[in-house]
Amino acid sequence: MLPRERVIAVIKHQKPDRQPVYAWVRANLGEPIKREYGSVEAFEDKYEFDFTHIFGGPAAYPHPMLVEEWKRRGGPIDPAGLLELPMGDVNDMAAYQGIIDQIRHHKEQRGRFTYVQTPGIFEALNGPFGIQNHLAYLLMYEDDLQPVYRRQAEWNRQFAMNCLDLGVDMVHVSDDWGAQSGLMFSPETWWRLIYPNHKVTTDAVKARGAFLSLHSDGNVAQVIDGIVKLGFDVVHPWQESAGMDLTLYKTKYRDVFTIMGGLDVQTTIGFGKLDFLKAEIERVLGMFRDGGLLYCTSHFIQDHCSMEELKFAYDLIYEIVHGHKVK
């Protein structure tokens, strides 16, 4: 199988010829990887990654505009105030050049499966509001948030459509809802405010016949049925360190969606505990030998991870997945 074919097989609940592998490394380890391997791209090629996470595109609320508005107000922006601000031009195709370049490199030249980071609703608006204010607004200004969320949802849908037009394989909606033991807000709030506004994008993506994935850190078990109802094909990271049980996934949801994750950056990689790291890599990969997992980090590997530990981890992953040592 080619890398892209391998990933699609797993998403479609089929058994691949081997387990697909990827890692989020660029944000915090780009420079040390460059010194060690020549470039992040060389690291990805060495370990024969099968899929890739693409970032880029226009901003819904350009940061300089927000800074000016915060200064003008002398404090945080409330929902009514945000509606007075224009959103960035989602159809500014010049802003998509980075996405185009990454599609060319990964999909066209390397044969990898590509997915693009797409704004959600709650997480996207933490930028303009600040997360603490946003959580308060859910209690104080629910009616005022409705049009703000709807406008964001329509922007998100067009962003996703533009990315599909450019050739990405999957729209990856990033919207952190979870804390360590549950949602940051009530399930009732999620169903009233988050669900219908996600549905704007998810329905449009599914109508295009494209794949759809969700990123949400933390414990989102309270709304798994809603995630299923929205039609997500992939859920990332299914965070064990936040109480998300992999056995529950295998017994109840494996035929419904695929997990992307398995290598926890909060507890497993980057702590110098190589025996534990080895055991965890072997355990998780062993659970999914016949499919059901796109093996990936739960988030960006943090900068306290040494190059020695990163090499140890991915040498081991490569050997388990390929059946021989990396060259």
User: Per the domain annotation, does 227 fall within a domain?
Assistant: yes
Give the count of domains, the chain.
1
pLDDT value at residue 33: 98
pLDDT of residue 259: 98
Q: How many CB atoms lie within 10 A of CB 12?
A: 12
How many residues does this entry show for the chain? 327
119, part of any domain: yes
Q: 163 with 57: CB under 8 angstroms?
A: yes
Residues 6+ apart with CB under 8 A from 45: 110
Q: pLDDT digit string (tens) for 113-158?
A: 999 999 999 999 999 999 999 999 999 999 999 999 999 999 999 9
Domain boundaries, position 43: 3-322
Classify residue 314: in a domain, yes or no: yes
Q: For residue 210, give both structure tokens.
A: 């494209």
Residue 143 Cα distances to 64, 79, 101, 126, 195, angstroms: 28, 9, 41, 17, 15
What gap in Å lies between CA 187 and CA 204, rounded to an integer? Answer: 24
**Residue 264 belongs to a domain with what CATH number?**
3.20.20.210
Q: Which long-range contacts (CB under 8 A, 24 or more apart) does 75-80 make?
A: 76/129, 76/130, 76/133, 77/128, 77/129, 78/129, 78/133, 78/137, 78/141, 78/144, 79/129, 79/137, 79/141, 79/144, 79/145, 79/148, 80/141, 80/144
Q: CA 308, CA 280: separation in Å to the nearest integer? A: 17
pLDDT at 210: 98
pLDDT number for residue 304:
97
The DSSP letter of residue 327 is -
Q: Is residue 61 part of a domain?
A: yes
Record the tokens describing residue 81, joined without a space. 């105030």
- The answer to whether residue 45 is domain-embedded is yes
Q: Give the DSSP per-residue string, 229-245.
A: HHT-SEEE---GGGT--
pLDDT in tens, the chain (327 residues): 999 999 999 999 999 999 999 999 999 999 999 999 999 999 999 999 999 999 999 999 999 999 999 999 999 999 999 999 999 999 999 999 999 999 999 999 999 999 999 999 999 999 999 999 999 999 999 999 999 999 999 999 999 999 999 999 999 999 999 999 999 999 999 999 999 999 999 999 999 999 999 999 999 999 999 999 999 999 999 999 999 999 999 999 999 999 999 999 999 999 999 999 999 999 999 999 999 999 999 999 999 999 999 999 999 999 999 999 999
Start-to-end C-alpha separation, the chain: 20
pLDDT at residue 229, rounded to an integer = 98
**301 secondary structure, DSSP code:** P
Q: Evaluate whether residue 166 is within a structural domain.
A: yes
Q: Which residue spans within 141-255 are E strands per DSSP? A: 170-174, 211-215, 234-236
Instruction: Evaluate whether residue 112 is within a structural domain.
Output: yes
327 within domain boundaries: no
Question: Whole-prediction pTM value?
Answer: 0.96
